[in-house]
């Protein structure tokens, strides 16, 4: 359990092995495997998080940040984190999920694959990879809107 917590805290990456897609192309991802370890309840800093059973209709507004120094670490799904990719970390969306993130400061949007857990910083709802953050002009912490993409093909 301590390895799991340490992995989640250090860069929103953890050590969940498994047969998961290696491609970061969000248009080729399959439905979440709800029995996978990364979609089960987990605990970080004394807080238990319960991943959602579905992301259909999911919408949220809040603050986003970005991460990028964890290059090469494993995501919660077991894939390698690629800072310039279009991925994200979320505490409760089922993995993998595809979401559109809109920077409410400038209206720019990016479609990302949620393949990791986090952020575990108070007041933040999503961590974007550096590549995704750059695409929407996020340079620190900005207010964003997150919308689940259902099965739409990425337009970005």
DSSP 26: G
pLDDT score of 136: 98
Q: Which domains does the chain carry?
A: 2-18+30-148 (2.40.40.10)
pLDDT class of 24 with cuts at 50, 70, 90 = very low
First-to-last C-alpha distance (Å) of the chain: 38
81 burial level (CB within 10 Å; 0-12, 13-18, 19+): buried
Dump pLDDT digits (tens) for 88-142.
Answer: 999 999 999 999 999 999 999 999 999 999 999 999 999 999 999 999 999 999 9
pLDDT score of 35: 87
């Amino acid at each position: 359990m301590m390895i799991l917590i340490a992995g989640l805290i250090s860069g929103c990456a953890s050590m969940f092995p498994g047969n998961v897609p290696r491609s970061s192309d969000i248009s080729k991802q399959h439905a979440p495997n709800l029995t996978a370890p990364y979609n089960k309840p987990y605990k970080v800093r004394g807080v238990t998080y319960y991943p959602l059973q579905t992301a259909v209709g999911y919408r949220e507004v809040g603050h986003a940040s970005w991460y990028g120094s964890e290059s090469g670490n494993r995501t919660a799904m077991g894939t390698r984190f690629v800072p310039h990719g279009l991925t994200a970390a979320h505490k409760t969306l089922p993995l993998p999920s595809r979401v559109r993130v809109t920077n409410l400061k400038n209206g720019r949007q990016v479609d990302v694959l949620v393949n990791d857990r986090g952020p575990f910083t108070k007041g933040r709802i999503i961590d974007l990879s550096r590549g995704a953050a750059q695409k929407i002009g996020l340079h620190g912490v900005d207010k964003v809107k997150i919308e689940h993409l259902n099965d739409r093909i990425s337009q970005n």
